[in-house]
């Protein structure tokens, strides 16, 4: 499906980086005119190599390597080691080939790719290994942002494969349940930008459109079967590819057909609040402040989000949903209103499920 683009981006990257030379430093790769996600992948590769090498080091217990100034100096040394790491030509070409295939898979089917990529060698990864794995992934950063908050919030130092798969699927489920048609379309922007860069710089003026089949895979990955079927019908009618604006219109059409319209959400404001929201102990002044600062002064958005979060089985699941909302809406979880809402929700679940 992307055979031409796959070949073109590798040629373009070679021409703009190593050229005909026998080696190249990571620093030069990061300064070159290539897509940011390729730079992220190469940097991730070097950081992973350094991490694995340091695992084999044996430090004497007589020296305090955790001393603050020693640790800071080591971090600075690591940065220099990473920036000046030199790829031989053979190593560069092999890494580029892996990178290109990974990016097309990841941009098209992020959840599926992460489930098979993160735990290639192990059944569990510690927080450092997970963070390094996500360094390869320059796009869809919300996955790691939410997972990291989950790990820190639960005071966990590692995740097992099955738990990670469950969390990744829940994160995407939250996206599907809380995003409008326009917001869902914006999730594909990294994919469009990557293809657009290739078309503009390597294929002499391509439109930057994506195959409709690739977009079907993207929304199938998020378990949006109604959208996938809608795109399939458009494809069968001859719509073989789409520009971003065309996708937005297609999603609006699909959401309207499935009654996912904003009007339905607004109508919730006129309905009596359900007991679960009433049971959420919030003084009126705090509630109004929360709606204004965390939900864009939109009460319907507050009601939809609270009903979703409060329908969770446990505080663990509810906390993950709340973290997802904060992350996707660029909200500081340590702001006054965010803390008040978090405490109220935690109290609700504690009272509902007493130990």
Residue 118 lies in a domain: no
Q: How does pLDDT run across 256-269, given as a tens digit for each residue?
A: 655 443 334 334 33
Q: Is the pTM of this model over 0.85?
A: no
pLDDT of the residue at 256: 63
pLDDT at 124 over 50: yes
Residue 10, in any domain of the structure: yes
Sorting pLDDT into bands at 50, 70 and 90, what band is 348?
confident
Residue 170 in any domain: the answer is no
- Single residue among 52, 77, 108 that ends a domain in this structure: 108
Last residue of a domain, one of 82, 108, 134: 108
Which of these three, 55, 81, 108, is where a domain ends? 108
DSSP SS3 for 241: strand
How many C-beta atoms surround the C-beta of residue 231 within 10 A?
26
In the predicted model, what is the mean pLDDT of the chain? 85
Residue 60: its pLDDT value, please? 67
In a domain, 309, yes or no: yes
Residue 133 predicted with pLDDT over 80: yes
pLDDT for the residue 269? 38
Please say whether the beta carbons of 47 and 142 come within 8 A. no
Q: Same structural domain for residues 272 and 348?
A: yes
Residue 335, domain member (yes or no): yes
The residue range of the domain holding 208 is 183-260
* Among 23-37, 169-183, 302-316, the range of highest mean pLDDT: 23-37
Together in a domain, 332 and 250: no
Measured distance CA(245)–CA(44) in Å, rounded: 33
Higher pLDDT, 278 or 333: 333
Average pLDDT over residues 297-323: 81
Helix (H) or strand (E) holding 86: strand 86-88
Residues 235 and 274 in one domain: no
- Looking at the fold, whether 90 and 27 belong to one and the same domain comes out as yes
- Establish if 154 belongs to a structural domain: no
- Give me 44's structure tokens: 């991730």
- Determine contact, residues 197/13, Cβ cutoff 8 Å: no
In a domain, 143, yes or no: no
- Could you give the number of structural domains in the chain? 3
């Amino acid at each position: 499906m992307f055979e031409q683009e796959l070949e073109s981006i590798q040629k373009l990257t070679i021409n703009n980086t190593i050229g005909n030379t026998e080696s190249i430093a990571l620093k030069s790769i990061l300064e070159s005119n290539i897509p940011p996600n390729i730079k992220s992948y190469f940097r991730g590769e070097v950081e992973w190599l350094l991490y694995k090498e340091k695992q084999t080091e044996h430090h004497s217990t007589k020296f305090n390597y955790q001393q603050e100034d020693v640790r800071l100096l080591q971090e600075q040394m690591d940065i220099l080691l990473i920036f000046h790491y030199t790829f031989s030509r053979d190593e560069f070409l092999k890494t580029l080939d892996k990178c290109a295939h990974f990016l097309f898979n990841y941009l098209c089917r992020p959840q599926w790719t992460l489930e098979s990529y993160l735990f290639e060698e192990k059944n569990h990864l510690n927080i450092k290994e997970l963070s390094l794995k996500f360094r390869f992934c320059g796009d869809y950063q919300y996955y790691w942002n939410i997972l990291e908050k989950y790990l820190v919030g639960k005071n966990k130092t590692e995740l097992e494969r099955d738990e990670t798969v469950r969390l990744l699927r829940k994160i995407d489920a939250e996206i599907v349940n809380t995003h409008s048609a326009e917001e869902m379309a914006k999730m594909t922007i990294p994919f469009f930008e990557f293809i657009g860069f290739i078309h503009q710089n390597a294929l002499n003026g391509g439109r930057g459109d994506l195959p409709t089949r690739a977009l079907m895979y993207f929304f199938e990955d998020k378990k949006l079967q109604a959208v996938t079927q809608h795109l399939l019908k458009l494809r069968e009618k001859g719509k073989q590819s789409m520009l971003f604006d065309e996708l937005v219109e297609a999603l609006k059409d699909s959401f309207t057909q499935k009654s996912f319209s904003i009007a339905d959400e607004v109508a919730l404001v006129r309905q009596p609040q359900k007991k679960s929201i009433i049971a959420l102990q919030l003084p009126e002044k705090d509630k109004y402040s929360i709606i204004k600062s965390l939900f864009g002064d939109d009460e319907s958005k507050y009601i939809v989000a609270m009903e979703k979060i409060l329908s969770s089985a446990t505080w663990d699941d509810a906390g993950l949903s709340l973290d997802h909302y904060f992350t996707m809406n660029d909200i500081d979880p340590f702001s006054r209103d965010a803390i008040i809402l978090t405490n109220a929700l935690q109290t609700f679940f504690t009272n509902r499920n007493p130990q």
